[in-house]
Structure 1
């Protein structure tokens, strides 16, 4: 009679989610832990942007504030912060200042009221602080979907894009990117109320706030729709806005996010319409500034001119190349099947930038919030050897800094 050997219980190894998968609800890191992981990215970002500012100063006799906080669009935000919106412009006519969204000048006015800082200093410090918050948000999003090294590389790349000097100016791009990035992170982690509130703030900062609102609302609606289906083993979506609960509280959060997300942008659109005495008042104001939506005909015409004319300016070449690369990278993002919230946001930002007529010299700046487009570049760099990464990023820094000098000391256009 043979003796039956007792079976040995085999304990499976603990599951370790791959880069980009969502952690179970409630096990996310605390803010301090997130800051510890992000500090190398923030330190490198601060370094590249500090160098980007310092290399400009020897090429001009102006002070830091005169270079970064008193020119181009900044003057309009300062005027609004100090005088308010009612005004008449020689070219754009009445309501001209209403083309600029209210959150940034409101922050400037608040800081000057609470501190002894001048409006220029307040505007610049808000923008610099927002750029660090944006860099942290970029890292948080990319780390979640592509890993820590890709997150660090993405932040550095974001600080070295052709128009990165704008991130250090008293402009709204950094503030808007901060709201956008953290709204995307909130969607990825299913913090729907937070996502809705951030979408409201983005909608009060810049016109493309409509893209952030649409991203949050569409993802929340999809999660609501998914919640109607029978539960199954594949219900959890680690990379998308799928439901993480079917109770009334979760449904209430999703509905609240859908309702909240567009309120910021719609409230400003409605207020300008009220002031203009017509529902499309905001669109009329933008038309007086030379901006309208033509589906991309203007942009295609200008890009074609750059590649066909014999004499062109450097900024036109860089902008045309940036727009072309943005479209290519957007296609790559879709081919790599990045999470749906990131694809929606990037697609809408590119569509708004390419589809609007006017201000060709600013279109590369308008793409700064589309940091998602950098992920296909960050992924292979994150896997490369450190020497290769350092060489490529150093070369990118030299080019970015040289172009930043050109934008602020040679070009006559707003960057």
Structure 2
């Protein structure tokens, strides 16, 4: 498949939709192989976490309990079991309310727990692991559509081997958000506006940064309207409906929290402020980086700086590669949130997990290297896997730092 160079998504034409009889089978087999690679990477990651837990004497907790009940996982499982209403006070300026957590993931956990004999923790892991598989399929579909099946597989592999990819094996919301984001972006690239808008709305119910998906859909829709501004009837009602649907999930929850807090427009943002999470155009992050550089700190913080800096470089490469506009907007908004937001500096790499398009330049380079110098590609992949597995186990088992 030829490389896609357009900035605006083009709908699939009738001619392109007609496939040879054997094509779906080959496509399905290629996606299955990519999912197998992803599953193997994440299964190996879980094994390394388990072995690290035993080697370090963490016998006080079952190793899988570390994946199911760590940090924010406890908040989500609490919402799934009891609903909203929990608040912790740590002083006049630090008040942690569970209203900061969006409702889709705990709702899914509650449904799974009700329909199966699994407990809350196991239900959370089942939702996360299933969502991670759906996300990997969507990421493969986007990569394969743009640059062919080999790049799609490499993209999934790189996403599964990110330094913070251990989060994809935990009871966290990033797999759910990425699943809806990947398939919404895939729908946009194919001109399927209703699907794109509906999936973006669900992404907006998953996490605060889920509105990045809606931004991508709205930007693509705006470009489509502009391109067809002189054609009578050039824009279908599906585009308008999809664009209207895209931000509804995120807006609905923000307004619901605002109404509950007595400030319709500002209530949710006040809840986040009390958690210490605000958007200050990067001032808080800059002060923290200065502290790390001048005084040193635990290993997690310098690693966070390296990951975020790498993400900035990758976004520059994505721009230079003239990636489609929806991918640029989605990744750009996520990166802007990370760079401009203050609070929970150590969580910034996790916030970037849904920004999988950033890995497209690396995936293309890896495929080119594998074709020209297979051993070089194998060494690079092996080194990345070693870093990912070791650092993931360190984060979960050893580092006493919120993810």
When the two chains are superposed, the root-mean-square deviation of aligned CA atoms in Å is 1.9
Q: Residue in 2 aligned with 1:300?
A: 286
CA distance in 1, matches of 2:391, 2:109: 29
- 1:287 paired residue among 262, 273, 276: 273
CA distance in 2, matches of 1:273, 1:222: 32
CA contact (8 A) 1:201 1:264 kept: yes
Q: Does 1:352 align with 2:305?
A: no
Q: Residue in 2 aligned with 1:151?
A: 152
Q: Residue in 2 aligned with 1:10?
A: none
Give how far 1:214 is off.
Answer: 1.1
Give how far 1:94 is off.
Answer: 7.6
Q: Residue in 1 aligned with 2:56?
A: none
TM-score by length of 1: 0.88
TM-aligned CA distance change 1:296 to 1:186, over 3 Å: same
Secondary structure, in 3 states, of the residue corresponding to 2:161? coil
TM-score by length of 2: 0.90
1:124-154 superposed Cα distances (whole Å, 9 cap, x missing partner): 0000011111111111111112222111111
CA distance in 2, matches of 1:159, 1:187: 24
Q: Residue in 2 aligned with 1:235?
A: none
- 2:392 paired residue among 397, 401, 404: 404
Residues 260-269 or 32-41, more deviating: 32-41
CA contact (8 A) 1:224 1:251 kept: no
1:54-73 superposed Cα distances (whole Å, 9 cap, x missing partner): 01112222324311101100
Secondary structure, in 3 states, of the residue corresponding to 2:206? coil
TM-aligned CA distance change 1:340 to 1:391, over 3 Å: same
1:360-406 superposed Cα distances (whole Å, 9 cap, x missing partner): 01011111011111111111111113222211101111111111121
CA contact (8 A) 2:11 2:192 kept: no
- 2:48 paired residue among 48, 55, 58: 55
1:222-250 superposed Cα distances (whole Å, 9 cap, x missing partner): 212211235xxxxxxxxxxxxxxx757x5
Q: Does 1:20 align with 2:4?
A: yes
CA distance in 1, matches of 2:386, 2:122: 28
CA contact (8 A) 1:77 1:105 kept: yes
Q: Residue in 1 aligned with 2:28?
A: 35
Question: Between Structure 1 and Structure 2, whose CA radius of gyration is higher?
Answer: 1
The within-5 A match list for 1:227-246 is 227-229=228-230
CA distance in 2, matches of 1:225, 1:23: 15
> Relative contact order, CA 8 A, sep 6+: which one is greater?
2
Give how far 1:328 is off.
Answer: 1.1
- 1:390 paired residue among 378, 381, 389: 378
Give how far 1:89 is off.
Answer: 1.9
Secondary structure, in 3 states, of the residue corresponding to 2:208? coil
The within-5 A match list for 1:149-298 is 149-229=150-230, 247=233, 251-278=236-263, 279-298=265-284
CA distance in 2, matches of 1:219, 1:32: 31
Secondary structure, in 3 states, of the residue corresponding to 1:323? helix
Q: Residue in 1 aligned with 2:324?
A: 339
Q: Residue in 2 aligned with 1:240?
A: none
Q: Residue in 2 aligned with 1:116?
A: 117
CA contact (8 A) 2:96 2:275 kept: no
TM-aligned CA distance change 1:70 to 1:24, over 3 Å: closer
Secondary structure, in 3 states, of the residue corresponding to 1:161? coil
Q: Residue in 1 aligned with 2:366?
A: 381
CA distance in 2, matches of 1:104, 1:32: 33
CA contact (8 A) 1:86 1:95 kept: no
CA distance in 2, matches of 1:193, 1:33: 27
TM-aligned CA distance change 1:137 to 1:69, over 3 Å: same
Residues 266-275 or 31-40, more deviating: 31-40
CA contact (8 A) 1:149 1:382 kept: yes
CA distance in 1, matches of 2:147, 2:46: 30
Give how far 1:156 is off.
Answer: 0.7
TM-aligned CA distance change 1:270 to 1:379, over 3 Å: same
Give how far 1:32 is off.
Answer: 6.2
Q: Residue in 2 aligned with 1:73?
A: 72
CA distance in 1, matches of 2:397, 2:258: 38
CA distance in 1, matches of 2:242, 2:134: 22
CA distance in 2, matches of 1:105, 1:300: 33
Give how far 1:263 is off.
Answer: 0.3
Give how far 1:413 is off.
Answer: 1.1
CA distance in 1, matches of 2:213, 2:289: 27
1:101-138 superposed Cα distances (whole Å, 9 cap, x missing partner): 00001011111111111111111000001111111111
Query: Which of the pair is proportionally richer in helix?
Result: 2
